[in-house]
């Protein structure tokens, strides 16, 4: 499977039977070459999130509608990335893809989600 930096997918959990709780759109926070699919989400107590965060490693889920609305023009202008909260998940693979190829300016609204901060500010 392949995807572009900044992609998102519809991820369905096969063990959920309740209508409206079976799937969610989630951003892929890893790059295609990372050999893993990394997602970031809040566990807000919903049935979907409780089920997702309790899955053991290697569990199977259904993934569909893999797509991206984020694209970066291949030019020399600085890349300015702004995100807040878990929106940083979409920026992580884009920053990693363009690091060293052009100037990158990172900005985020601090809502307490600092999971990728150290990594992103080191590579930007």
- Look at residue 123 in the predicted model and tell me its pLDDT: 75
Q: What is the pLDDT along the chain (124 residues), one digit of tens a residue?
A: 788 888 999 999 988 888 788 899 999 999 888 888 888 887 778 889 888 988 888 889 999 888 888 888 888 889 888 877 777 788 888 888 888 898 888 876 566 656 676 777 677 6
> Is-contact 4 32, C-beta < 8 A?
yes
Q: What is the domain partition of the chain in residue ranges? A: 8-67, 79-123
- Look at residue 110 in the predicted model and tell me its pLDDT: 63
- Look at residue 112 in the predicted model and tell me its pLDDT: 62
- Helix, strand and coil in the chain, % to nearest 5: 25, 25, 50
Q: Which residues contact 81 (CB under 8 A, 6 or more apart)?
A: 91, 94, 95, 104, 105, 106, 107
- Look at residue 111 in the predicted model and tell me its pLDDT: 62
- Look at residue 109 in the predicted model and tell me its pLDDT: 59
* C-alpha pair distances (Å), 74 with each of 2, 5, 23, 101, 118: 20, 14, 34, 10, 26
Count CB-CB contacts under 10 A for residue 35: 7
């Amino acid at each position: 499977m392949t995807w572009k930096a900044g992609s998102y997918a519809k991820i369905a959990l096969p063990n959920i039977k309740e209508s409206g709780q079976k799937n969610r759109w989630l951003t892929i926070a890893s790059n295609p070459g990372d050999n893993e699919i990394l997602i970031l989400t809040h566990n807000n107590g919903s049935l979907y999130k409780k089920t997702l965060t309790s899955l053991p490693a290697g569990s199977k889920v259904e993934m569909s509608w893999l797509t991206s609305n984020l694209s970066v023009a291949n030019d020399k202008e600085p890349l300015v990335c702004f995100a807040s909260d878990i929106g940083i998940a979409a920026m992580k693979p884009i920053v990693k893809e363009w690091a060293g190829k052009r100037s990158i300016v990172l900005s985020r609204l601090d809502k307490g989600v600092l999971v990728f901060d150290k990594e992103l500010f080191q590579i930007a």
